[in-house]
């Protein structure tokens, strides 16, 4: 069974700072009934620039980008079973979590949230996920 590369026009594709080199990263890969979505950050899909330094604005954009990749695979937050979150500053957790709750509404997922240093300057949150299909 070959892997299926998932690409969304509503989410940025990143991977290298050298824009002359194509990225080896896929926004998502579906393998059988599993979908693996690459870490999404608070980047504008068109400009690939960080949208704001505010954690709530960044979290909204990050989740919107993630939802865009899910949609490109005919999935939604209902399909997500696991999320991993990296926050640059763990004191941002309460504000991040409020926005997260707004997006998730009544959906349940497993989640790990750690403090760390996302790879790009100005990126204060990054989220990846695993989604499943019937």
Residue spans per domain, the chain = 4-132
Say what angle helices 55-72 and 93-104 make with each other, to 10 degrees: 40
Q: What is the pLDDT of residue 48?
A: 87
pLDDT at 53 over 80: yes
Query: What CATH class has 4-132?
Result: alpha beta
pTM of the model: 0.93
User: For all residues of the chain together, what is the average pLDDT?
Assistant: 93
Question: What is the tens place of the pLDDT at every residue in 60-89?
Answer: 999 999 999 999 999 999 999 999 999 999
* Residue 15 banded pLDDT, cuts 50, 70, 90: low
How would DSSP label each residue in 70-115? HHHTT--GGGEEEEEEEESSGGGHHHHHHHHHHHHTT---EEEEEE
Cα-Cα-Cα-Cα torsion 35, 38, 42, 48, nearest 10 degrees, comes to -110
Quote the CA–CA distance of 88 and 81 in Å, as a whole number.
24
């Amino acid at each position: 069974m070959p892997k299926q590369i998932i690409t969304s026009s509503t989410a940025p594709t990143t991977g290298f700072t050298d824009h002359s080199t194509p990225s080896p990263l896929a926004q998502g890969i579906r393998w059988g009934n599993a979908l693996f979505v690459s870490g999404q950050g608070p980047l504008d899909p068109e400009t690939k620039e960080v949208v704001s330094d505010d954690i709530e604005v960044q979290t909204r954009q990050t989740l919107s980008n993630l939802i865009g990749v899910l949609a490109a695979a005919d999935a939604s937050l209902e399909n997500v079973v696991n999320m991993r979150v990296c926050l640059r500053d763990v004191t941002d957790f309460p504000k991040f979590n409020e926005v997260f709750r707004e997006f998730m509404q009544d959906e349940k997922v497993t989640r790990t949230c750690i403090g760390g240093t996302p790879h790009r300057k100005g990126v204060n949150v990054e989220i990846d996920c695993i989604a499943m299909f019937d």
